[in-house]
Amino acid sequence: MSFYGYIKSMMKTYKLIVAYDGTHYCGWQFQKEKPSVVQVLNNTFLSAFKKKVKVLGASRTDAGVHAAGQVVKVVTDLPILPAKLQWAWNNALPPDIKIRRLELVDDSFNPFHNVEQKIYFYHFFLERPLPFLHHYGYFYPYTINIEDLSRALQLFVGTHDFASFRSIEDTREDTVRTIDSISLEYIKRYNVYRVTVKGQKFLRHMIRRIVGASLSAVTKHKDYKQIICKVLEAKNPSHDLANAPAKGLMLYKIIYF
């Protein structure tokens, strides 16, 4: 066996499910002079095991966005059992990041490939939330008809060109996406409303802009359906409908084929 072959045979691939509170991070992806989730994972691995590691995440969540089910790939030659690796790494992490699951997988695994569905939650409050909840939902201080809001959200289900509901900085040419479903429910325990959005892939800020636009259109316009459809058809992200803040968004789960 060649030296390269020997090194390759020592490498192990792990799939991680990672949860984090995004409040104090610039997002998932590394940025100079700003703390990111991936940077903390890299740094704590080096601190705990005295080895560098490359961490690859399935979704590049933005600043302030949370995750309960970020999927991560890690490759290392560290000779350690998965359970011990997870335990030691978690002990090195700050309390706002946790590895929920860590398992050995085939080295062909790529978190970007074979994604069947991503599930996101967006939480909002219609009454001022308790102090320890305010980082995890958008306080919308206006009277709104919840049934109308539910009807407005359904306008986005299906396959559409979502160019009007992306970040202005998102310059991708392909802006057609399919939303499998959107549901709205009230969670009495936390006095919060949850919008659940399911689809294979999304544009940057797409979910936040959909929720923000629906809230503002229903609040301000009797003909909210026509307003939303007109903005959707314009394929222009520069419009007056709101973009909901990042803190209400959570990557809940990623399902693979």
Whole-number Å distance between alpha carbons of 207 and 192:
18
The DSSP bridge pattern shows strands 115-125 and 138-139 to be parallel
Length of the chain: 257
> Which amino acid, residue 137?
G
Nearest CA-CA partner of 15 in 69, 71, 54: 71
Determine which one of 21, 62, 170, 180 is catalytic. 62
Give the C-alpha distances (Å, rounded to integers) separating 94 from 28, 44, 47, 84: 15, 9, 13, 18
Tokens of 26: 């610039």
| Class of residue 49 by CB neighbours under 10 A (exposed 0-12, middle 13-18, buried 19+) | middle
- CA–CA distance, 167 with 203 (Å, rounded to integer): 8
- Rounded Cα–Cα distance for residues 110 and 15 (Å): 9
β pairing state of 66-76 and 249-256: parallel
- CA atoms of 198 and 179, how far apart (whole Å): 6
**Rounded Cα–Cα distance for residues 166 and 68 (Å):** 23
Give me the half-sphere count of Cα atoms (radius 13 Å) on the Cβ side of residue 238.
1
- Is there a catalytic annotation at residue 62? yes
Active site residues: 62
